[in-house]
Chains A and B, each alone.
Chain A
Amino acid sequence: MHCGNYSRFASRRDVLARTAYGIGAAALHALLGGSQAAAAPRLFPNFAPRAKRVIFLFQAGGPSHLDLLDYKPEIKDRFNQDIPPSVFGTQRITGMVAQQDRFPIAPTMYGFGQRGKSGMWLSDLLPHTGKVADEICLLRAMHTEAINHDPAITFIQSGSQLPGRPSIGAWVDYGLGSENQNLPAFVVLNSLPSNGMADQGLLSRLWGAGFLPSRYQGVQFRSAGDPVLQLSDPPGITRERRRTLLDGLAQLNGQLHDRVGDPEIETRIAQYEMAFRMQASVPELADTSGEPDHIHELYGEDSRKPGTFASNCLLARRLAERNVRFIQLFHRGWDHHGGLTEKIPALARDTDQASAGLILDLKQRGMLDDTLVIWGGEFGRTPYAQGPLKPDNYGRDHHGRVFSMWMAGGGLKKGYTHGSSDDFGFNVAEGGVHIHDLQATILHLLGIDHQKLTYEFQGRRFRLTDVEGSVVKEVLA
């Protein structure tokens, strides 16, 4: 449905005059993709938001909570002992360890220490994160039913283990719309690990629109070539020539609109103008060469290399500055079934400084208060070893019964640890946060009641949180 008025117009200038200024979210949304499908009635936010935007630093593959975020001194001396059956319970084990005849405990070989005024226990693998411990809200009792990558990552991103549902960024875009006329509301940035061992793949459904109109799908920003696909004019078409051609196009479309009357044509004219603006705004955004050295130092030297996690963190801040609503990063390579101790230091190095740098950078710009930053993967890893167990090397299988994530920024307690796992880091001891609870909490911080953000599809009202989820009140500031 289109909401413009239908007076005739003769030139692009008229269209621009009507579309460029003073537009509320709903109307702007129509511009960003308005079509026959009705725009969502603007019911959100339901209450005052604590965060205006989200930066989700997703760690794909399943980082080991036991080596990074969840200190378990109780099993330090239980090297190679079996996990007690009472703890093991009815664990759904994956096909990869189903043939294993025992499940020996692999205590972490890394040191942990208390960081910040809050005394938060963090691994020595995360020195920079340690420095921002007092900004962090650590969730130590996350849990998920999924035990394999595809279902688990699909679950945390879309609220369902199976394909077909909209991703969280698409839901937020659908609910809140954009506050930037020149950029998409939902942007995705992917990075590969520096050790080159990416293992598991990503899926475009992780930023897909599912059954929502496809305009809500995330737009992938790329580190090589055009930052957005087909952003550059073809060779030989200068900006000036493109402008001339678009002026001609607007006139042709305008004449057609006058005769046919279909408001869709007006929307199309506006979309071409937005495309033209994006051609300027996206390269400007993606160009970090003007960032001063001290900023690059904050995020780490990798931030000068396009396509790294550090560079994406810096881009995330630039996107956040421009009020892009949902900024989704994926960093791959955390799937450490074997040789974990050879791999995890590299992954920690890839992400530690840049994640912490992002927090500090947002803070010094006064943006941390209304930006929600999330760090974590689709599940954790088993306290027992997969494959051969040595004191200084071991692998860990997928583990969903308890794992850790951290969040920071808009509306959250600082230097706070919520929930805990049992002595083995195997089960939730207290303060369990289910994936749906996390999603409900993210929406809550954005001012959205997760039970009210619904979309009717095939006769049923669907939610990101399906029929579950409760806001984790304990973490709210």
Chain B
Amino acid sequence: MEKCLIVLLMGACGIANAAVDYGRDVRPILSENCFLCHGQDAKKRMAGLRLDSFEGATAQRAGRAALVPGKLEASEIYARITAEPSKRMPPVYSNRTLTPEQVTTLKRWIESGGAYSKHWAFVPPQRPAMPQPRIDAFVRKRLEAEGLKPNPPAAPGAWLRRVSLDLTGLPPSLDELDSFAKEVATRGEAAYTAAVDRLLASPRYGERMAMDWMDVARYADTHGFNNDSARSMWRWRDWVIDSFNANMPYDRFITEQLAGDLLPNPTMNQRIATGFGRNHVINSEGGIIDEEYRVEYVTDRVRTLGMAWLGLTLECAHCHDHKFDPITQRDHYRFYAFFNNVPELGEDGRVTNAVPLMPAPTSEQQMRIAELQDRIARLTPPDQFHEQQRNAGTTPGGAVWQYSCASACTPGETSPKPGVPVSKRKPLTFSAWINPGESDTNVALLSAMDYSVNPVATTYGKGMEFRLVNGELEFRFGDRFPAYEIRVRSQGANFKPGQWRHVALTYDGAEGKTSMRAETSWVRLFVDGREVGVKILNEGFTLPDEKSDKPSPTVFRIGWDNAAKSQRYSGLLDQIAFWPRVLTDDEIAGLVDKAGIPDKEKPLQSSRKELFAIQRKIPTVMVMQEMATPRETHVLLRGGYNTPGEKVEPGVPEALLGAWPVGAPKNRLGLAQWLTKPDHPLTARVVVNRFWQQVFGLGIVKTSDNFGLQGESPSHPELLDWLALEFIDSGWNVKALMKQMVLSATYRQDASASPEMFTRDPENRLLARGPRFRLPGELIRDQALFLSGLLKNRLGGPSVFPYQTKDLYKGIVVAADIPGTKYIESQGDDLYRRSLYTFWKRTVPHPTMTVFDVPDREVCTVRRSVTNTPLQALTLLNEPIFVEAARKVAERAYREGGSDTGARLEFLFRLATGRKARAPELSVLRKTFEQMLSQFTADQTGARALLAVGESTSDQAIPVNELAAYAAVANMVLNMDEVITKG
């Protein structure tokens, strides 16, 4: 006990102390104990004294100065930290006291001249003076200074398991272990390089790397907050996986996520990348104050930027100047200004994605769409419909509402009462002839939407509308524009002024469907009697339940809407009709031509049908977008959304972190250019430190979330700088960086150590041994799936719903039936996908993950805790997926392990650990197996029950009692510390 506390008080253990260094020794003391009241926050500064700069500390105040360099007696600092308790600094109420060692350090500092220096992290990295710089050289230098020797290398198989888990998140197969052993024997060092190259080339690499980034980027499949409904951001997640797999240079990785939309002619992928800026939580609770939450979203982007790439707690300057770091509140809002121009709402996301969003077809969809479009183009006859055919069709009976004007309807009218009965759950068909005017670029044809109230009001944009936008027909239907509605636009219809064309639209309604929201796939658009492609602009609204879905008589404004300053339709309209059902394709074709669809067009129709079906199912993703007129940004006094202060322009603290790049635009793109400047003091250091943390368990800067004054100093500062500079010089090459780390002798060391060494350096800051850490939650499950052969390696796609305790959401989620409130278990392969694809519900995350410290992803997290709890034990022992995996591991052992018990148990052990069992281990296995076998022989029912866990079938060829005994032993082995640990 006491031993522990002493180590704790000493802080990072065993770090040698030479001459007093301001940055390393003094500033941490001043920052922790003094800057709160004597730092840069002028509003909270006490007695007008600043101790965070040499000028401030040496300023004469009433004949004395806090610091008189070299003169201890004259320095007020020393007088006050050694004064009698009532006058002593820091004062009692601060809850801070200096230890005698800290007082001595300050004393020595004053005596030696009281020099200040810039905080190390704000000075660009310097090339260290090291003759042959390598990771190991820097680590050894430190070890020598401590009088320590590095550990011998781990056995090749142990290294292969470690590196496979680190680079792909999966252990090596037995074949890989065998061939690697042979390779090492024949080719030596080259075998290690080849193994790393193989792992880096695996698609599993991108999945492993994406996992950590999803924490940083606060990725989730729901919006968070009270309603916590589902969102669709997996296209962004897959972009991350693909980017790592393609080894996208990391400066581009930053640029595209921050500002892909602002790049010249951005590709779809570059726009998908900006989903990074939209992964934050979004609140759809009715009644919230819109601006209050919009401000939170922008603030979250600043926080995430700071944490992810600057290693700074920028959000601490949201309400006041930063208490510790030289970041003012104004600096915070200048960062904020970069992210303040998104056309978004505070309240959104009750149904699905929040605006702005974009359709993001997958590469398979893109390919199929191109094929179909090509085919349709070849098959389509030239346009054959002309104005004179306006009366050539047949109008099916049963229309609920028809409005044919004498020659054509006049814009500005209102359709007669009682109006069209519109119901959200019921089907509807609309048909009309239109002949646009020259100026009709964005006008309502028929509008029953209310735009007269404040756009943040909940009643804004409620209703139904047909518009003409840039020569295409746009349909809007829902509760609130632009958030909760269906919004689809025709593609390629190309309406031209002066031409009569026919338009029709069908809406399926909810009858016979289980969906909780109206979906865009229920809407089809037709031009001149033929279906046309659509672009999804927004994805639906929540459906009322059947009882409360009353048809409301809807009166349309003809050719105008009620928004202030809106433009009127200047063209003509005719033969408007609505039916309370979905007309067939033939009926719609017949509206234009009595003959309907000619037989020769039938092959064409099938291609078109497929194309449009794909188009309506294209996933969307939330993206960043700039408003045409940027919002003004003000400093928000005390951080209040409703207390704007001084107006600010976008910008960065140049004096502190380096100049704005010459000619860079003052937008997010410029911000990315500034972040990725080769002489930026923070970006590369923060990034390499985080990759180091992924591999070694702790960063070189342990506080990977804070490189500021309150953060910990790097354990190996020269190594950090060298790695950062090498990384930049390599073209921000992540794979090269990973390779360099995992091939270092430091990484390859054996992970065991003496109790003394574990006591001296419990966290392995000195790196005298190899890394040894419990696996992240995702990898514990993935490994079990892999070892059992259950794992299904499909890369990407919508998130999946593996086994989860029934009714887990019950009693927690909102009562309303909104998307994301029901957990409908996946079927088949999707039960066995890698854990990063598991549906992530922020307010009720999957317990198997949270039990193993996966953060809830409400905010950016760059460092997970690693705990060790009884709930973890219960999960690994009893969760159905782990029980099922144990059975499948047992089957493999039985089939592949050999013909006798000993061989099978050896196989099982080696499969799980990557090494041969030792004799005492084998004897535990054997003894346990025999006990289990005799028990299950006597209890065949129990054996069968155990083997029935999970959806996968059991191998009927294996005797039940034996398989159950092996499964029980496998359950034990899969719970071994060694198995769930990367060591």
Bound complex: CA A233 to CA B806 (Å): 17
Q: Which of B705, B753, B865, B972 is close to A35, meaning CB atoms less than 8 Å apart?
A: B865
Pair B8/A201 contact, Cβ less than 8 Å: no
Give the chain A neighbours of B867 by CB distance below 8 A.
33, 35, 37, 213-215
Pair A204/B753 contact, Cβ less than 8 Å: no
User: Does B656 have its Cβ within 8 Å of any Cβ on chain A?
Assistant: no
User: Does B324 have its Cβ within 8 Å of any Cβ on chain A?
Assistant: yes
Pair A275/B946 contact, Cβ less than 8 Å: no
User: Does B186 have its Cβ within 8 Å of any Cβ on chain A?
Assistant: no
Give the chain B neighbours of A454 by CB distance below 8 A.
95
Bound complex: CA A274 to CA B873 (Å): 9
For the complex formed, measure the closest distance between the CB of B706 and the CB atoms of chain A, giving whole angstroms.
Answer: 4
User: Does A17 have its Cβ within 8 Å of any Cβ on chain B?
Assistant: no
Pair B869/A255 contact, Cβ less than 8 Å: no
User: Does A162 have its Cβ within 8 Å of any Cβ on chain B?
Assistant: yes
Interface-side segment among A95-103, A104-112, A365-373, A411-419? A95-103
Give the chain B neighbours of A18 by CB distance below 8 A.
none
Bound complex: CA A164 to CA B851 (Å): 17
Give the chain B neighbours of A203 by CB distance below 8 A.
225-226, 228, 812, 843
Interface-side segment among B138-146, B365-373, B791-799, B924-932? B924-932
Give the chain A neighbours of B257 by CB distance below 8 A.
none
Pair A229/B755 contact, Cβ less than 8 Å: no
Interface-side segment among A130-138, A191-199, A401-409? A191-199
Pair A253/B976 contact, Cβ less than 8 Å: yes
* Residue of A whose beta carbon sits closest to that of B754: A261
Pair B805/A229 contact, Cβ less than 8 Å: yes
Residue with the greatest number of chain B CB neighbours at <10 A, chosen from A242, A267, A271, A332: A271
* Residue of A whose beta carbon sits closest to that of B841: A204
Contact with A along B452-481 (1 / 0, CB 8 A): 000011110000000000000000000000
Interface-side segment among B17-25, B128-136, B286-294, B530-538? B286-294
Interface-side segment among B79-87, B725-733, B829-837, B875-883? B875-883
Bound complex: CA A212 to CA B867 (Å): 11
Contacts A201-B227, A201-B228 given: A236-B866 contact, CB under 8 Å? no
Pair A200/B858 contact, Cβ less than 8 Å: no
Pair A201/B287 contact, Cβ less than 8 Å: no
User: Does A264 have its Cβ within 8 Å of any Cβ on chain B?
Assistant: yes
Pair A459/B703 contact, Cβ less than 8 Å: yes
Contacts A149-B285, A205-B856, A241-B968 given: A271-B814 contact, CB under 8 Å? no
User: Does B921 have its Cβ within 8 Å of any Cβ on chain A?
Assistant: yes
User: Does B751 have its Cβ within 8 Å of any Cβ on chain A?
Assistant: yes
User: Does B871 have its Cβ within 8 Å of any Cβ on chain A?
Assistant: yes
Give the chain B neighbours of A228 by CB distance below 8 A.
871, 874
Pair A201/B869 contact, Cβ less than 8 Å: no
Pair A224/B807 contact, Cβ less than 8 Å: yes
Q: Secondary structure of the B side of the interface?
A: loop
Q: Which of A37, A96, A238, A252 is close to B286, meaning CB atoms less than 8 Å apart?
A: A96
User: Does A410 have its Cβ within 8 Å of any Cβ on chain B?
Assistant: no
Residue with the greatest number of chain A CB neighbours at <10 A, chosen from B816, B868, B936: B868
Bound complex: CA A199 to CA B323 (Å): 41
For the complex formed, measure the closest distance between the CB of B884 and the CB atoms of chain A, giving whole angstroms.
Answer: 9
Pair B843/A459 contact, Cβ less than 8 Å: no
For the complex formed, measure the closest distance between the CB of A330 and the CB atoms of chain B, giving whole angstroms.
Answer: 8
Q: Which of B288, B307, B459, B964 is close to A236, meaning CB atoms less than 8 Å apart?
A: B964
For the complex formed, measure the closest distance between the CB of B505 and the CB atoms of chain A, giving whole angstroms.
Answer: 31
Pair A1/B7 contact, Cβ less than 8 Å: yes
User: Does A288 have its Cβ within 8 Å of any Cβ on chain B?
Assistant: no
Pair B870/A278 contact, Cβ less than 8 Å: yes
Pair B815/A197 contact, Cβ less than 8 Å: yes
Give the chain B neighbours of A150 by CB distance below 8 A.
225-226, 283, 285
User: Does B679 have its Cβ within 8 Å of any Cβ on chain A?
Assistant: no
User: Does B920 have its Cβ within 8 Å of any Cβ on chain A?
Assistant: yes
For the complex formed, measure the closest distance between the CB of B809 and the CB atoms of chain A, giving whole angstroms.
Answer: 9
Pair A200/B814 contact, Cβ less than 8 Å: yes
User: Does B3 have its Cβ within 8 Å of any Cβ on chain A?
Assistant: yes
For the complex formed, measure the closest distance between the CB of A261 and the CB atoms of chain B, giving whole angstroms.
Answer: 5
Interface residues of B in 916-946 (CB under 8 A from A): 918, 920-921, 924-925, 927-928, 931-932, 935-936, 939, 942-946
* Residue of A whose beta carbon sits closest to that of B965: A241
User: Does B844 have its Cβ within 8 Å of any Cβ on chain A?
Assistant: yes
Q: Which of A34, A94, A213 is close to B288, meaning CB atoms less than 8 Å apart?
A: A94
Pair A236/B977 contact, Cβ less than 8 Å: no
User: Does A458 have its Cβ within 8 Å of any Cβ on chain B?
Assistant: yes
Number of interface residues of A (CB under 8 A): 104
Give the chain A neighbours of B459 by CB distance below 8 A.
99
Bound complex: CA A234 to CA B881 (Å): 11
Pair A274/B710 contact, Cβ less than 8 Å: no
Pair B878/A230 contact, Cβ less than 8 Å: yes
Contacts A235-B946, A261-B752, A268-B977 given: A278-B289 contact, CB under 8 Å? no
User: Does B949 have its Cβ within 8 Å of any Cβ on chain A?
Assistant: yes
Give the chain A neighbours of B7 by CB distance below 8 A.
1
Bound complex: CA A148 to CA B976 (Å): 47
Give the chain A neighbours of B844 by CB distance below 8 A.
204
Pair B866/A35 contact, Cβ less than 8 Å: yes
For the complex formed, measure the closest distance between the CB of B737 and the CB atoms of chain A, giving whole angstroms.
Answer: 24
Give the chain A neighbours of B810 by CB distance below 8 A.
192, 224
Interface-side segment among A77-85, A243-251, A429-437? A243-251
Bound complex: CA A114 to CA B851 (Å): 49
Give the chain B neighbours of A2 by CB distance below 8 A.
4, 762
Pair A236/B946 contact, Cβ less than 8 Å: yes
For the complex formed, measure the closest distance between the CB of A161 and the CB atoms of chain B, giving whole angstroms.
Answer: 9
Pair B1/A26 contact, Cβ less than 8 Å: yes
Give the chain A neighbours of B757 by CB distance below 8 A.
261
* Residue of B whose beta carbon sits closest to that of A149: B226
Bound complex: CA A199 to CA B757 (Å): 56
User: Does A32 have its Cβ within 8 Å of any Cβ on chain B?
Assistant: yes
Contacts A96-B287, A271-B870, A459-B313 given: A248-B928 contact, CB under 8 Å? yes
* Residue of A whose beta carbon sits closest to that of B861: A211
Pair B347/A95 contact, Cβ less than 8 Å: yes
Bound complex: CA A261 to CA B759 (Å): 10
Give the chain A neighbours of B708 by CB distance below 8 A.
459
User: Does B316 have its Cβ within 8 Å of any Cβ on chain A?
Assistant: yes
Contacts A200-B226, A235-B948, A261-B754 given: A459-B709 contact, CB under 8 Å? yes
Pair B812/A201 contact, Cβ less than 8 Å: yes
Pair B918/A3 contact, Cβ less than 8 Å: no
User: Does A398 have its Cβ within 8 Å of any Cβ on chain B?
Assistant: yes
Pair A163/B870 contact, Cβ less than 8 Å: no
* Residue of A whose beta carbon sits closest to that of B853: A214
For the complex formed, measure the closest distance between the CB of B173 and the CB atoms of chain A, giving whole angstroms.
Answer: 23
Pair B972/A98 contact, Cβ less than 8 Å: no
Bound complex: CA A236 to CA B757 (Å): 43
Bound complex: CA A130 to CA B868 (Å): 46
For the complex formed, measure the closest distance between the CB of B759 and the CB atoms of chain A, giving whole angstroms.
Answer: 8
User: Does A237 have its Cβ within 8 Å of any Cβ on chain B?
Assistant: yes
User: Does A262 have its Cβ within 8 Å of any Cβ on chain B?
Assistant: yes
Give the chain B neighbours of A208 by CB distance below 8 A.
856
User: Does A6 have its Cβ within 8 Å of any Cβ on chain B?
Assistant: yes
* Residue of B whose beta carbon sits closest to that of A162: B296
For the complex formed, measure the closest distance between the CB of B284 and the CB atoms of chain A, giving whole angstroms.
Answer: 10
Pair B968/A230 contact, Cβ less than 8 Å: no
Can you sample 23 A-B contacts with CB below 8 Å?
A33-B868, A147-B289, A163-B859, A200-B226, A201-B821, A204-B844, A205-B858, A214-B853, A214-B865, A215-B867, A215-B869, A229-B871, A236-B943, A248-B924, A252-B924, A252-B976, A261-B758, A262-B751, A278-B874, A456-B710, A459-B313, A459-B708, A460-B710
Q: Interface on B for A, CB 8 Å cutoff?
A: 1, 3-5, 7-8, 95, 224-228, 281, 283, 285-290, 296, 307, 313, 316, 323-324, 347, 456-459, 697, 703, 705-706, 708-711, 751-755, 757-759, 762-763, 772-774, 805-808, 810-816, 821, 843-845, 847, 850-851, 853, 856, 858-859, 865-875, 877-880, 883, 918, 920-921, 924-925, 927-928, 931-932, 935-936, 939, 942-949, 964, 968-969, 971-973, 975-978, 981, 983
Given A37-B867, A148-B288, A224-B810, output 6 extra A-B contacts at Cβ < 8 Å: A96-B286, A236-B946, A248-B927, A252-B973, A261-B757, A263-B762
